[in-house]
A = this chain, B = another copy of it.
């Protein structure tokens, strides 16, 4: 075991409302185990920071600042979209990582990300065997897409799900008020290019006590324009209005994304479009109804102001567990969230073998989608409900949330050479 060695921590891929809560868990737990772990060095902009020897000395941040990470959205050290390939294909990069780790006495590697970074983490975990460099690599799950296997759910998802559920409920109250003489259909576009987990959360806006007519367009269900129009008509007839939650990944039977409409402007230039305006156009053309549409984009995944308490707690717990796993001498593992019971909701942290995590996507079970393809089932509700439960408000000052900004002081470079990404 690499006692007293320093730790490397990096954030990878799209950030979330709670990835910094995981960072908080890592740093606080490492700080209370100074005998075994020296300093926590964070990669500036993820793994790129390691390749560039651009490390951040988190030990220079105050206890207060690190604690504030728990309520701060996005990636405090910067993230990146940069995928290391196999050891053979990316040999120079792995060599460089070892060089940097060696120079800074790094014996622990904590990688906070989704499926791609789990794969990278797995490869790092093999460096001891393949390159003779002793390192323990622990992956910390993070993704709004909720598509990692083994773990019951992914930190980051619960908060975006809560945002979508709350926002859909609120906008539905709005359109219900307006429906008599104006807007009858409200469309909101949400994330999830491959899986409908986030779109499913829109269905939570409606429940027994607060029934709301909602149709969900899942990537899993091939879009069929006629049956969609018929479904909208039924909702309007019964409720007078309708809300539509559409996944950015919604596609037709041929697999073509609904968002890809080949839009051009008056000069023939290609234009950008989301899927929400496309669905709005259908509402107008097929049904002649007034509509409004919204695209939530980054607002949904950065919305720390309405984060789920479950999500914040789990993000922190997986960060803490990652360090505890390292202290216990483990390698190539990921703390996984294990659901013990639904009601009352109880969970614990288990251990997932990275071999079983990397390169596998967890799709939404068909049993979570209602038979007609436009809604969620009771099983889906049972799954989602605890994940959006609880509020965990950040502190405010003068009307605005007070999020942590770190000093992010660089660690003095020790290597003469640089690395070309």
Contact = CB atoms under 8 A, between A and B. Distances in A.
Interface of A: 11, 14-15, 17, 45-46, 48, 72-76, 78-82, 162, 165-167, 169-171, 173-182, 186, 188, 204-205, 207, 209-210, 261-266, 269, 271-274, 276-278, 280-281, 284-285, 292-299, 301-306, 308, 385, 387-391, 393, 396-403, 405
Contact of A273 (B181, B273, B397): B273
Given A167-B302, A272-B281, 18 more contacts: A48-B181, A73-B173, A74-B170, A78-B180, A80-B178, A80-B182, A170-B299, A170-B302, A171-B298, A205-B400, A207-B400, A210-B403, A272-B280, A293-B297, A294-B297, A295-B295, A305-B306, A385-B398
B403 A181 contact: no
A124 to B, nearest CB: 19
A166 B401 contact: yes
Give me the 6 closest cross-chain CB pairs, A-B, nearest first.
A388-B399, A75-B177, A262-B266, A294-B297, A74-B173, A45-B180
28 contacts: A15-B174, A15-B178, A73-B173, A74-B176, A75-B178, A76-B177, A78-B176, A78-B180, A81-B178, A165-B400, A166-B400, A169-B400, A169-B403, A170-B303, A170-B305, A171-B302, A174-B298, A175-B298, A204-B399, A209-B397, A210-B400, A210-B402, A263-B273, A271-B277, A292-B298, A305-B306, A308-B399, A385-B398
Contacts of A273: 263, 271, 273, 277
Contacts of A46: 180
A179 to B, nearest CB: 8
Nearest to A166: B305
Number of copies: 2
A285 B269 contact: yes
Nearest to A161: B399
Contact of A306 (B162, B180, B306, B402): B306
A271 B81 CA distance: 32
